[in-house]
Amino acid sequence: MLRRSARAVAVALAATVVLTTVAACGSDGGAATADDKAPLEIWVRKPPGSNTEKTHLELAAAFTAATGIPAHVTALFDDFETKLQQAAAQRKLPDLIVNDTAQLGTLVKQGLVRSVDRASLAGGDQLVPAAWDAARAADGSYYGVPFSAQTFGLFVRKDWRERLGLARPTNWAELDALATAFTTGDPDGNGKADTYGYVVPGATKRGYLDWYFSSFLWSAGGDYFSGSPGSLRPAIAGEASVTGAQWLKDQFCSARSVVPGAVTAETTQAHPLFETGKGGIYFTGPYNMARFDKSLGKEKYEVLALPAGPGGRSVSLAEGENVYLMAGSKNPAGQQKYAEYLISPQGQRTGMAGDTDGNVVRLPVNRNVDLAAVRSDPRWQVFDQAYREGGRYVPAVPEWTPFRQASADALNAMVADCGSDPRAVLAKLASTFSAELKKQGAGS
């Protein structure tokens, strides 16, 4: 789920934070005087008092029982990044934080985290290969340990599909046909033309439309960049990328199968469009299953994998959380042990919390953990398979936010103007990407 960017914090603190952290740390990224029995302070981005906080408390207690190292969990949700900056400025950083994978670039840029040696991390070789992409920075080094993953699936009104006598879609043509049928075929049987196919969070705010579109871009065979880290080039204007953009525009302008108002909708506006019967196909994450089960009814919808696109594969945006080992810790050995515990089969199963809303591991990153043995709801298998077979994280650049925002702005303008030319739109976006790559020192 898209989260608030840390760029929103006061820029004036950044220089102080970096200098403070560097001064506090030894050359190996740990404290100058190490103490492998020093208590660990862990911050998690969860609401205080929530069941997710309780799961993290359980993990910390189990770790302490196994290692003898005290571990204290603090749950913070509102203004998490701001409070982290304040702690850094006061030289009171926690030892570890569990936070979004999207925060990696900012944390590295500000010097708040230390690098991780994959080879020395017990259990690191047991992780799903794609998971490590979430912890790799633009310089090719790792600055976190993958902990939880998630990806996306198609939430489809099963009752509508069956009422119209249509099969589950197996390719994009069938998916579009289903969206058109939901728009024109009166699937709810009320005799009114008041239903649509796709629910799309197409707002520019926080880059929502690009966030939604990325899976379709990759499944069409397109991409944001080509080349290697440090010498990237824009690929967003390539033929396959244009194919993906043309598909998106067609849903808005030709088929007109997208719920009206999508160009200004964030997820908070998009969720109700699905659960109140305005749209019948919503590409979203597993975190919405509990909500829709209550508001809509579990029997009325199904969760399907995105069919393979023109590129020949089904690729889905991967997100999740990393364990970040903060710079300046008095107990760097303990930091690593805690991360190792969280990615162990025991830690992953505890974090999954069965079928409850206390889960802090949505999809396990340890490939030796059988999701079906922990959760009885078979719909989780759709997301787990999508992640393991086609999950993909956003590109490793120093700061992804400017690219996501520029893409969302361009795509939003494209679908809002049915006279627009996707090829020209993406050519202009490629020029913007090229300038930003050079600005960040990531382009050739």
The whole-number pLDDT of residue 10 equals 39
Rounded-to-integer distance, Cα 176 and Cα 210, Å? 20
Q: Which CATH architecture has domain 153-316+398-439?
A: 3-Layer(aba) Sandwich (3.40)
**Banded model confidence at residue 41, pLDDT cuts 50, 70, 90:** very high
Average pLDDT value for residue range 367-385: 95
Residues linked to residue 127 through DSSP beta bridges, in sequence order: 366
Give pLDDT tens digits for 377-408.
999 999 999 999 999 999 999 999 999 999 99
Distance CA 131, CA 348 (A): 14
CA distance 334 to 67: 9
Model confidence band, residue 127 (pLDDT cutoffs 50, 70, 90)? very high
Return d(Cα 68, Cα 64) in angstroms, integer. Answer: 5
Q: What is the pLDDT of residue 69?
A: 98
444 confidence band (pLDDT: 50, 70, 90)? confident
Give the confidence band of 336 by pLDDT, cuts at 50, 70, 90.
very high
The pLDDT of 14-34, averaged and rounded, is 46
Predicted local confidence at residue 32, as pLDDT: 57
Q: Are 408 and 214 in contact (CB under 8 A)?
A: no
pLDDT band at residue 24 under the 50/70/90 scheme: very low
pLDDT of residue 434: 97
The mean predicted confidence, pLDDT, of the chain is: 92
> Do the beta carbons of residue 410 and residue 426 sit within 8 Å?
yes
> Which tokens in the block code for residue 226?
């080509």
Count of CA atoms in the C-beta half-sphere (13 A) of 161: 23
pLDDT band at 17 (very low <50, low <70, confident <90, very high): very low
Cα–Cα distance, 273 to 265 (Å, whole number): 10
The closest of 164, 156, 153 to 277, measured between CA atoms, is 156
Asked if the model's pLDDT at residue 13 lies above 50, the reply is no
pTM given for the model: 0.89
Please state, in angstroms and as integers, the Cα–Cα distance from residue 261 to each residue in 200, 208, 378, following that order. Answer: 9, 14, 33
What per-residue confidence (pLDDT) applies to 30?
Answer: 46
79 vs 338, more confident:
338
How much is the average pLDDT of 179-200?
97
Among the listed residues 325, 371, 326, the one whose alpha carbon sits nearest the alpha carbon of residue 351: 371
Indicate whether 130 pLDDT > 50. yes
pLDDT tens by residue, 215-257: 999 999 999 999 988 899 999 999 999 999 999 999 999 999 9
Q: Which residues of 233-265 are buried (b: 16+ CB within 10 A; e: fewer)?
A: ebbbbbebbbbbbbbbbbbbbebbbbbeebbeb
Are 6-150+318-392 and 153-316+398-439 equal in CATH topology? yes
Which pLDDT band, with edges at 50, 70 and 90, does 33 fall under?
A: confident
pLDDT at 11: 36
Predicted confidence (pLDDT) at residue 197 exceeds the cutoff of 70: yes
Given a cut of 80, is residue 29 above it in pLDDT?
A: no
Q: What is the rounded distance in angstroms from the CA atom of residue 237 to the CA atom of residue 243?
A: 10
* Structural contact between residues 393 and 319, judged by C-beta atoms closer than 8 angstroms: yes
- % residues pLDDT > 70 (the chain): 93
pLDDT at 18 over 70: no
Greater model confidence, 8 or 184? 184
- Domain spans in the chain, listed from the N-terminal domain onward: 6-150+318-392, 153-316+398-439
pLDDT of residue 224: 98
Residue 93: the pLDDT is 97
The predicted pLDDT at position 107 comes to 94
Mean pLDDT of 171-178: 98
Quickly name the fold that domain 6-150+318-392 has.
D-Maltodextrin-Binding Protein; domain 2 (3.40.190)
Q: Residue 189: which residues within 8 A CB-CB, separation 6 or more?
A: 163
Rama region for 225: left / alpha / beta (φ>0; ψ in -120 to 50; rest): beta
- Burial label, 420 (beta-carbon count in 10 A; 0-12, 13-18, 19+): middle
User: What secondary structure does DSSP assign to 269-330, as a single string?
Assistant: HHHHHHHTTSEEEEEE-GGGHHHHIIIIIGGGEEEEPPPP-TTSS--EE-EEEEEEEBTT-S
* Residue 65, C-beta contacts closer than 8 angstroms, at least 6 positions apart: none
- Taking residues 291-312, report their average pLDDT: 97
Backbone angles phi, psi at 442, to 5 degrees: -110, -5
